[in-house]
Amino acid sequence: MKRLIASITLTIALVATFSCSTPTYAAGVNNNPWNYSFVAARGRLIYAPNPAFCNGRYFRCIPNFPRGIGYVIECHDGLYSKSGGRPGSCSGHRGNWQALYAH
- Give percent above pLDDT 70 in the chain: 74
Confidence of residue 8 (pLDDT cuts 50, 70, 90): low
Residue 12: the pLDDT is 53
Domain parsing of the chain, residue ranges: 26-102
Of 57, 29, 56, 55, which is closest to residue 43 (Cα–Cα)? 29
pLDDT digits (tens, 9 = 90+) for 10-58: 455 444 433 333 444 456 899 999 999 999 999 999 999 999 999 999 9
Ramachandran category for residue 79: left, alpha or beta (phi over 0 → left; psi -120 to 50 → alpha): beta
Of 81, 95, 82, 103, which is closest to residue 32 (Cα–Cα)? 103
pTM for this prediction: 0.72
